[in-house]
């Protein structure tokens, strides 16, 4: 039997995913890119996309569409007074600013990290992700120095919560 592979860009895939989400289904996608390292890795991990919430909180993972039409899955860094959000990848220092609810296409409630399902909405894992994000943006050199010793702690949290 001849196998064929269909390779789609996120721009091509997301309209389908949005239709499935609107129908009440979750969509499981592999992580692509390195913007969410060290928590999510390209080729190893996957994310569940579900319907966007009415409002989001610092630390929530969302899939959003930028004004140029590209998509990104990053974390809410700040909720602004006008109701928009500043969003950033865990491995980035530049935020996408003033992202509106209309630009957010999906919420990420769970991820599969290194073969184990993680609830991204609560627990020690979420706390660790938010602390890392805040440190990374506000103290990048300190974060780099702490990452090697902290990786053992992240593994313990991962194994305990999975």
Give the pLDDT score at 134.
79
Give the pLDDT score at 144.
61
Compute the distance between CA of residue 31 and CA of residue 43 in angstroms, rounded to an integer.
6
Report the percent of the chain where pLDDT is more than 90: 59
Give me the chain's average pLDDT, please.
86
Domains in the chain, CATH or no CATH each? 10-161 (2.10.109.10)
Whether 123 has a pLDDT exceeding 70, the answer reads yes
- Are the C-beta atoms of 90 and 129 separated by less than 8 Å? yes
Compute the distance between CA of residue 89 and CA of residue 94 in angstroms, rounded to an integer.
8
- The pLDDT of 128-133, averaged and rounded, is 80
Q: Which residues are CB-contacts of 38 (< 8 A; sequence separation ≥ 6)?
A: 90, 91, 132, 147, 151, 154
- Three-state secondary structure string covering 89-132: CCCCCCCEEEECHHHEEEEECEEEECCEEEECCCHHHHHHHHHH
In this predicted model, what pLDDT tens digit does every residue of 32-67 receive, in sequence order? 999 998 889 999 999 999 999 999 999 999 999 999
Whether 162 has a pLDDT exceeding 80, the answer reads no
Which pLDDT band holds residue 28 (cuts at 50, 70, 90)?
Answer: very high
* Three-state secondary-structure class, residue 50: strand
Whether 142 has a pLDDT exceeding 90, the answer reads no
Compute the distance between CA of residue 27 and CA of residue 108 in angstroms, rounded to an integer.
10
In this predicted model, what pLDDT tens digit does every residue of 90-102 receive, in sequence order? 888 889 999 999 9
DSSP H or E run through 130? helix 123-138
Give the pLDDT score at 69.
92
- Neighbour tally for 57: CB within 10 Å: 11
Compute the distance between CA of residue 88 and CA of residue 70 in angstroms, rounded to an integer.
15
Compute the distance between CA of residue 115 and CA of residue 9 in angstroms, rounded to an integer.
24
């Amino acid at each position: 039997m001849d196998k064929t592979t269909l390779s789609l860009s996120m721009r091509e895939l997301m309209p389908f995913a949005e239709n499935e989400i609107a129908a009440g289904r979750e969509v499981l996608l592999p992580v692509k890119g390195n913007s969410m390292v060290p928590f999510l890795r390209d080729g190893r991990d996957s994310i569940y996309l579900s319907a966007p919430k009415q409002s989001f909180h610092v630390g929530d993972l969302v899939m959003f569409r930028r004004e140029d039409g590209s998509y990104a899955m990053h974390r809410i860094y700040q909720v602004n007074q006008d109701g928009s959000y500043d969003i950033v990848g865990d491995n980035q220092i530049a935020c996408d600013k003033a992202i509106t609810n209309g630009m957010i296409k999906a919420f990420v409630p769970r991820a599969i990290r290194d073969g184990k399902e993680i609830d991204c909405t609560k627990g020690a894992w979420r706390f660790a992700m938010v602390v890392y994000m805040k440190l990374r943006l506000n103290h990048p050199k300190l974060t780099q120095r702490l990452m090697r010793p902290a990786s053992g702690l992240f593994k313990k949290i991962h194994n305990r919560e999975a």
